[in-house]
Amino acid sequence: MTGQRTISVLGATGSIGASTLDLVRRNPDAFRVVALTANAQAAELAALAREFRAEVAVVADEARLPELREHLAGSGVEAAGGPTALVEAAARGADITVAAIVGCAGLAPTMAAIEQGKVIALANKEALVSAGEVMTAAVARTGATLLPVDSEHNAIFQCLQGNDAANVRWITLTASGGPFRDWPAERLALATPAEAVKHPNWSMGAKISVDSATMMNKGLEFIEAFHLFPVGVERLRIIVHPQSIVHSMVEYRDGSTLAQLGPSDMRVPIASALAWPARMDTPCAPLDLAAIGELTFRAPDETRFPATRLAREAVTAGGSAPAVLNAANEIAVAAFLAGQIAFTDIAENAARVLDSMNDFSAPGSLDDVILVDRAARARTRETMELAH
């Protein structure tokens, strides 16, 4: 990398934000921080803003703004709060914006960053799952560069570099299979939230860990891949790879398959995005393939884990179907974590909601996406109440 670039981190206190700032901390001459945002962690955000001398720190929960101002007093860092302030921070036009706000709260800030026509390192799933057509149209219109931060999509991005998508035979997303990959079907219904959040390979939050256990995370990544890499649904597939060393693969029509391998550490794909088109050092230990010993692969079991099938059906249906699936899953996962429904009910509820909401008109704007999201959440709550 040459020259200093400006960077904003939307979702600075989450796991992606922490990994990003760890890399920025290790490369102080490479980046100048413009904006840092968080949901409600005012004290933590203020400490980061002071450390990195950010221009502005924004807390989404406006009720925490007085606390943020108090912690930033005398620092010279501007403090702001609320959804509008998030969008304004994203619109400051940093050379690279890391979009890592979880959920639909990240849609408007991500779009604001895209509108600046710069580089967006995308870690917000909803941007492409719920608003894929809207976001990709904005990217095409503004000339922005969308760099995927998810380990699987970043791996595909790297494997496609310098190649024509017309020559792609398959894009294969790898999945760890989660903590229940070897469980018999009858035992899955008895799985507890504590068991579901214990991912064997990755350190992640509760919601994404449950998504990994149901394989919905891979289903949502399938939908994202459909928008990021326009080769068609029929050229996208999923394979279970328990070791999480091969992060994804691209097979070309001549029979060559390119794979990206790396440790299970999000700093690797984040570094790829931050340094693109160059490379940068990370503190991650080099792969020791001899110590790993073997890499294994198996076909996904969509009888035990129907989430990937639901995702494929949703993206094939098109329009707002993926947004409905995402919203239904989010409500069902929250209910499972609260002990209100069984593990196997998560995908069943999502399937029922998809069946009942059969008008999948394509959203024309972010406002349309948010309306669909709200309607799907309400329908999911109704569906769960009727089932019990």
Q: pLDDT, tens digit, for every residue of 318-349? A: 999 999 999 999 999 999 999 999 999 999 99
Residue 359 lies in a domain: no
Least confident piece of the model among 112-116, 203-207, 303-307, 319-323: 203-207
Full-model pTM: 0.93
Q: Say how many domains are in the chain.
A: 1
Q: Is the per-residue pLDDT at 105 higher than 80?
A: yes
Residue 319 lies in a domain: no
| CA 20 to chain CA centroid, nearest Å | 14
Residue 129 lies in a domain: yes
- Give the C-alpha separation, 89 to 116, whole Å: 12
Residue 124 lies in a domain: yes
Average pLDDT across the chain, whole number: 94
Residue 281 lies in a domain: no
Distances in whole angstroms, Cα of residue 281 to Cα of each of 129, 159, 160, 175, 275: 31, 19, 22, 26, 9
Residue 157 lies in a domain: no
Q: Is the per-residue pLDDT at 351 higher than 70?
A: yes
Residue indicated by tokens 């604001």: 112
Q: For the domain that residue 56 is a member of, what is the CATH number?
A: 3.40.50.720
| CA 185 to chain CA centroid, nearest Å | 28
| Domain ranges, residue 140 | 5-148
